[in-house]
Amino acid sequence: MSEVSDAEILAAFLRVDDAFVSGTAIAEDTGLSRVAIKGRLDRLREQGFDFEAVRNKGYRLETIPGYLHPSLLAAYLLEMNAPVNIHYFEETDSTNTQANRLLAEGEETPFVVIAGRQTAGRGRRGREWYSADAGNLYLSLALRPQLTPARMQRFTLWMGLATCLAIKEICNIELRLKWPNDLHWQGKKVAGMLTEARSDSEHLIELVFGIGLNVNGVTDEFPPEVRAVASSLREAAGGGAAGGFEINIIAAALMSRLVEATEAYLDGSYGDIFEQQWPQYDALVGKAVTIEQAEGEIAGQYAGIDASGRVLLRLDSGEIKAFSAGDVTIKKQ
Ligand code: BTN
């Protein structure tokens, strides 16, 4: 990102919480002159920040923008000591598509593409992902991993679990994972994941993991076809019209966790955590479900997932059958 100094300036404020920071301290931290700092703060004021300035005390950060801001996001990452290579776009067609373009240009991995809005957000099975709301997160992590294509489906489940764990820690909200790519809160979809890969017959060459997370989105404003089945973190927290979550903190924490989760997946150290935690976050445990297949709907009792990430159903005949794709619907009890 180009705004490193702005991020460093903002990090100096984040470090002291609500306290004042002297111009000299910021100058020492960033290597900028005091005049340059004043200019930077004026520029940041135009972008939705506000700073109180008091003679002999310095500056105090009073207001931050209520939307995704690349320098603030980078400042949180600096404070978390989590270096992530970020490509930020105020608007793009799709962060997955953009990540694929950057991979094709040879960009070094891992990197994250994050956007304020998407004009052509993509979901699973060619569906559209509603992406007009700047209060939500749209991000993609790109990798060139040493994985066999067979291990890819469990990768998405693992990343979903890592997201649940991160959201629990940051927002104290317990989402549930609905195989294969949905994160739910009380039966409504709060996030969707889309993993796309380019591979040869043996290995993955490039992998893009995309996630759309409804953070502060107001679902009444979502398109009619998704309104009834969608929710957001803000709604899960009982939020009304005002306030909401600080999207930049959530973005920073989530992307650093996703990068860490990827490393654990690739070095094989994720296994125990997955086996232990998955059942706690699994939305389908104990449910009678149907799965949509080319030959029609198949009904059964959910029986977990197997080592390749396939969903297992116990059919009426008692046979356990594994499915690697298809939409699962929970039957009303
Ligand atoms: C689904 O539920 O069908 C998956 C939705 C995935 C949406 C995310 S938003 C960020 C990334 N860019 C996209 O175009 N899609 C994914």
pLDDT of residue 321: 97
C-alpha 96 – ligand 1 centre gap (Å) = 8
Q: In terms of domains, do 300 and 261 share one?
A: no
Does 88 share its domain with 210? yes
pLDDT value of residue 1: 45
pLDDT of amino acid 242: 57
Bridge partners, 185 (sequence order): 188
Domain with residue 170: its CATH number is 3.30.930.10
Angle at which helices 4-15 and 23-30 cross, to 10°: 130
The partner residues of 208 in beta bridges, in order of sequence, read: 142, 196
**Residue with the two structure tokens 């990102």:** 1
pLDDT at 240: 57
Asked if residue 167 lies in contact with residue 233, where contact means CB atoms within 8 angstroms, the answer is yes
Q: Enter the pTM of the model.
A: 0.94
User: How many whole angstroms from 22 Cα to the centroid of ligand 1?
Assistant: 43
The list of the chain residues with pLDDT below 50 reads: 1-2, 241
If asked whether residues 49 and 191 sit together in one domain, one would say no
52 and 130 fall within a common domain:
no
Q: Which domain holds residue 183?
A: 70-281
- Is the backbone peptide bond immediately before 149 cis, with ω within 30 degrees of 0? no
Within 6 A (CB) of ligand 1 lie 94-96, 118, 121-124, 127, 129, 138-140, 181-182, 192-194, 210-212
- How many structural domains is the chain composed of? 3
Claim to verify: residue 224 and residue 266 sit in the same structural domain: yes
- The string of DSSP letters for 175-236 reads -EEETTTEEEETTEEEEEEEEEEEE-SSSEEEEEEEEEE-SS--GGGS-HHHHTTB--HHHH
Measured from the CA of 94, which atom of ligand 1 is nearest? 14
What pLDDT, on the 0 to 100 scale, is given for residue 2? 40
Do 270 and 292 lie in a common domain? no
Ligand 1 centroid–CA 264 distance in Å is 23
| Residue 185, CA distances (Å) to 235, 237, 300 in order | 9, 10, 23
| Structure confidence by residue, pLDDT tens digits, 194-215 | 999 999 888 889 999 999 999 9
Q: Are residues 239 and 293 in the same domain?
A: no
Q: Read off the tokens for 203.
A: 């290995």
